């Protein structure tokens, strides 16, 4: 500080710029040193670190491939497969929590950090064995399961993106930091849920059982992302807390390892960035299509039933019910596409359930035999009126027919799944109940069902059956249970 005072006194001399510069440099260095000490104290990983011998024992214990770990692995495979098959998030989370896969992956990172090549090889082959066992076991389950529909939980694990990479990085950091603390915390269960390892392997098993390359390779890629970055972050944190090496390693070998890991990390990340790019594009495209439809078709006596993007032909296809769209209206709608960045340059193709709009008047005239009309048959104008009546009837009863079809699919789906979950279940009948909303529109917000059972359900089973029905139907279900012989 004496130097600081001397510099301050010199600064009073006019034109002495060097003194001001020295004061600023000293003050800046002093401030940076304080900030460095504060940040270092806040994020100090050495303060509550467990003894290195205890960390090693935890890693070795988690990487064993016999006894309890193998039994739990098999159970986790079946739990995850059933959860994916039944589209149950809670069951899948349970499989994530008990899966022992993370222990072997951390063992590889520990072997790399301590430069124990034999332990790295041993842990690597253990992981390969667990992966093969998980994929084959889940493939066996899915090949025997009567439910072969790909659930949303299965689909969610087939297209990993850069966000999955970030989750794996942050989850891996949290996992190894939690494993090296002197006091155990709830970090590891949270990491097990965030960096899902077992569900992707079971999804790959589904792809193998149903001969789907998309499911198989997409899910394995997600597993590889999670495994690599958990291993990499384990290696980095263990080096940061200065875990001792098993043998001397030259600086050249260390640089080779560092560059190898960097190159491998980049190769793994690139496909996920490509998938993320396409995912963002697809989402933006969907949002702009829905905005375009809301702006131009709702409240205009027109209703868009479905839409499709034909990328090769740069065409947006809309299926519409309601009045006939005129050629001028179509041109106006098509010009409006240029206002949306993802739809600019697209052509608009409108498909309508309008018999008169799809068949020319001349064609109908030719269909009618003039001699038949002279003999008392109906005229062309009368035929037009009849067709219009049928069109109006079809528009009136189309929602009811659609609801009936949905109810039949729901009942068939329940009759297929329920016997697996509830042995007493025999069959079910039911349908959605129509009602009117505030605007006088017919809505379906409740479902009535009659379930036939071969035996009584206790109170807990009834509650679980009710919750399952509500989830399958997608609306509150009023169910009556009837025991039959």
For every residue of 212-243, DSSP letters joined together read -HHHHHHHHHHHHHHHHHHHHHHHHHHHHTTP
pLDDT at 137: 93
Profile the chain (485 residues) by mean pLDDT over runs of 10 residues: 41 50 60 65 67 83 79 90 88 86 86 83 90 93 85 81 83 82 70 79 91 88 87 85 73 71 74 71 77 75 73 78 76 80 79 50 45 47 58 63 83 87 87 78 83 87 88 87 83
pLDDT at 389: 62
279-287: Cβ within 8 A, 24+ apart: 279/159, 279/161, 281/342, 284/341, 284/342, 285/309, 285/342, 285/343
pLDDT at 464: 86
CA distance 321 to 146: 37
Three-state DSSP class for residue 158? coil
pLDDT at 121: 86
Residue 362 vs residues 165, 242, 250, 377, 445: alpha-carbon distances, Å: 62, 88, 89, 18, 46
Which tokens hold the place of 415?
């009759």
pLDDT at 357: 42
C-alpha radius of gyration, the chain, whole number: 33
pLDDT at 78: 92
CB 81 within 8 A of CB 134: no
CB 61 within 8 A of CB 160: no
Residue 3 vs residues 8, 9, 19, 323, 340: alpha-carbon distances, Å: 9, 10, 11, 88, 65
pLDDT at 82: 92
pLDDT at 301: 66
CA distance 422 to 430: 18
How many helices (H) does the chain have, and how many strands (E)?
Answer: 19, 6
pLDDT at 16: 53
DSSP character string of 86-126: TT-HHHHHHHHHH--HHHHHHHHHHHHHTT-HHHHHHHHHH
Residue 407 CB coordination number (10 Å): 17
CA distance 482 to 479: 10
Three-state DSSP class for residue 450? strand
Instruction: Check: pTM over 0.85? Answer yes or no.
Output: no
């Amino acid at each position: 500080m004496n130097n600081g005072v001397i510099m301050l006194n010199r600064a009073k001399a006019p034109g002495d710029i060097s003194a001001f510069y020295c004061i600023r440099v000293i003050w800046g260095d002093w401030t940076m040193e304080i900030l460095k000490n504060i940040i270092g104290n806040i994020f100090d990983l050495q303060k509550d670190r467990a003894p290195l011998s205890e960390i090693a024992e935890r890693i070795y214990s988690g990487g064993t491939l016999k006894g309890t770990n193998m039994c739990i692995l098999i159970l986790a495979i079946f739990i995850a497969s059933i959860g994916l098959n039944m589209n149950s998030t809670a069951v899948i989370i349970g499989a994530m929590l008990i899966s022992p896969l993370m222990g072997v992956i951390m063992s590889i990172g520990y072997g790399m950090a301590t430069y124990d090549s034999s332990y790295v090889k041993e842990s690597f082959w253990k992981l390969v064995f667990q992966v093969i066992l998980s994929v084959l076991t889940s493939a066996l389950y899915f090949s025997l399961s009567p439910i072969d529909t790909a659930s949303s939980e299965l689909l969610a694990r087939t297209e990993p993106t850069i966000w999955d990479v970030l989750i794996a990085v942050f989850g891996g950091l949290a996992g190894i930091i939690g494993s090296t603390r002197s006091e155990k915390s709830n970090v590891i269960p949270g990491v097990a849920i965030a960096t899902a390892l077992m569900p992707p392997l079971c999804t790959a098993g589904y792809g193998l059982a149903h001969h789907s390359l998309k499911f198989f390779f997409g899910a394995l890629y997600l597993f590889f992302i999670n495994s690599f970055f958990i291993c990499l972050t384990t290696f980095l944190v263990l080096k940061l807390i200065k875990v001792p090496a098993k043998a001397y390693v030259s600086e050249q070998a260390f640089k080779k390892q560092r560059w190898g890991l960097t190159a491998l990390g980049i190769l793994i990340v690139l496909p996920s960035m490509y998938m993320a790019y396409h995912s963002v594009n697809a989402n933006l495209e969907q949002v702009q299509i829905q905005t375009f439809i809301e702006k131009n078709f709702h409240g205009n006596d027109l209703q868009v039933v479905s839409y499709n993007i034909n990328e090769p032909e740069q065409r947006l296809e809309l299926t519409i019910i309601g009045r006939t769209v005129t050629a001028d209206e179509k041109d106006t709608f098509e010009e409006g596409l240029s206002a949306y960045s993802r739809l600019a340059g697209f052509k608009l193709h409108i498909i309508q359930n309008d018999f008169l709009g799809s068949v020319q008047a001349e064609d109908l005239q030719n269909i009618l035999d003039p001699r038949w009309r002279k003999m008392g048959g109906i005229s062309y104008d009368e035929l037009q009126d009849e067709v219009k009546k049928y069109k109006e009837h079809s528009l009136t009863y189309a929602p009811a027919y659609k609801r009936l079809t949905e109810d039949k699919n729901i009942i068939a789906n329940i009759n297929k799944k329920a016997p697996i979950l509830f042995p007493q279940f025999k069959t079910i009948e039911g349908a959605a109940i129509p009602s009117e909303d505030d605007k006088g529109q017919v809505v379906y917000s409740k479902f009535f069902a009659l379930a036939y059972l071969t035996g009584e359900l206790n109170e807990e089973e009834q509650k679980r059956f009710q919750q399952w029905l509500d989830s399958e139907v997608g609306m509150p279900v009023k169910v009556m249970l009837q025991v039959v012989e």
